[in-house]
Amino acid sequence: MNTVTFGEKNIGELYSAYLSEKHIGVPKARTLSVEVPGRDGEVDLTEAVLGRISYGNREVKMTWTLTGTEGERESAIVQIIKDIHGKHVEFRFDNGVSLVYQGRITVSREDDFFTFVDVKCDCDPYRYDIFSAGEEWLWDNFSFEDGIIYPNEENVNGRTTVILPCRQSHTTVVIEVLSGNCTMEFGGKTYQLKTGNNIMHEIVLVAGDNTVVFNGNGRIKIKYRGKEI
């Protein structure tokens, strides 16, 4: 069945509904250009501040068709509104792709016979992996089509190399030192890690595999979430 799971609730299975229409918008790139007197054309400053392109929100629209008696359909609409209307939720299309959307939900009723429900989502521009690095993950939700197995906890014994896969750049990494003492090397720089969470603002992962080297002795947990447009 072509349906959607909001949080842990599968709308199709819970309320005998099926997804009859959907539209997934493309987030608009935030561009910036300025005119310079005496110069032909304009100067493009889109990536001048962050070193990358930033994006506006993504709009996702869907229409649900409800089945059952009129009373059952009315009850389903009431419950759907209770579950997701006005809330900021994480949702995914149950089509085998291991990426989820996050956004604010608006529910509206399309007709007086409780047959159709419109759902509009004001979403982040990015789609996120279901599971993050540092989290336990389940085979049940893993996509063999496009899923990525991220690192979790690692033992550091002397010089230890770890590969950090990344879907798209500018993903923030947190290194939690669970025990011991160690340093981290990335991009030609060495970082001293303290016990607990180390938010690595200076580290920018690029799309593909990123090699990180830890030196010392101890146990660490690597935490970040993959995302892409």
DSSP letters along 38-52, please? TSSSEEE-TTTTTSS
Query: In order of start, what are the domains of the chain with their CATH numbers?
Result: 4-125 (2.40.30.200), 139-228 (2.60.120)
CA distance 18 to 12: 5
Residue 183 vs residue 142, higher pLDDT:
183
**Residue 49 — very low, low, confident or very high, per pLDDT cuts 50/70/90?**
confident
pLDDT per position as a tens digit, 170-222: 778 999 999 999 999 999 999 999 999 999 988 888 889 999 999 999 999 99
**pLDDT for 11 beyond 80:** yes
**If DSSP codes are grouped into helix, strand and coil, which group holds residue 54?**
strand
Give 21-26 contacts, CB < 8 A, sequence gap 24+: 21/61, 21/62, 21/63, 22/60, 22/61, 22/62, 22/63, 22/93, 23/59, 23/60, 23/61, 23/62, 24/58, 24/60, 25/58, 25/59, 25/60, 25/61, 26/58
Least confident interval from 14-18, 119-123, 144-148: 144-148
**Weakest-pLDDT range from 28-32, 66-70, 139-143:** 139-143
8-state DSSP, 87: -
Amino acid at 68: G
Arithmetic mean of pLDDT over the chain: 89
